[in-house]
Amino acid sequence: MKLFFIFTLIGYLSGFSFFQSYIKALPVNSYSQNIQAAVLFTGGSGRLERGAEYLKKVANKPLLITGVNSKITMDILLKENIIPAKDSNRVELDYSAIDTIDNVKTVKKWAIKNSFNNIALITSAYHTPRSLLLFDRTTPYLKNLKITPISVKNTKTSQLYLFKEYNKYLYTYIFIK
């Protein structure tokens, strides 16, 4: 039993090391012209700024910001210069999503409604693996939907927070089919 525990712990820690390496290797600026639209999952620092950068670099393509706090309006985003006024007509705010699974469901509906099959995903690097896994696991009928990550690297993310996200990833991998 002790040997089993040791090997399990070694496997768990090795997986965490791989998880960290994967996060570090994620692309930061994948502004491909093949992308039809982008979606931004709220919740982490730097995500809205990366969304504004996307609007500047990719002309005439929409951005869905999902998981928006009910107190945040387009007027606030414009007043705070988070979203450029000239691009506000390309931005949709979604208030219905309260977690990552809801974000993915919202994006699925949005992609189907707009006939998108190539979407950029803007989220924190540590959040990207689980988000991509959820797209894969919860959208089997949308196999033609390509998700291209645009990761926000946050150098101040603690090891404890990364462990929490790694555990969420493992939970998703094991239990969400």
pLDDT tens-digit readout, 48-107: 888 888 888 887 899 999 999 999 999 999 998 888 889 999 999 999 999 999 999 999
Domain range annotation of the chain: 2-175
Question: May I ask the CATH architecture of the domain 2-175?
Answer: 3-Layer(aba) Sandwich (3.40)
pLDDT tens-digit readout, 121-177: 999 999 999 999 999 888 766 778 889 898 888 767 788 889 999 999 999 999 987
Q: How far apart are CA 38 and CA 57, in angstroms?
A: 12
In this structure, are residues 1 and 113 in contact, taking their beta carbons and an 8 Å threshold?
A: no
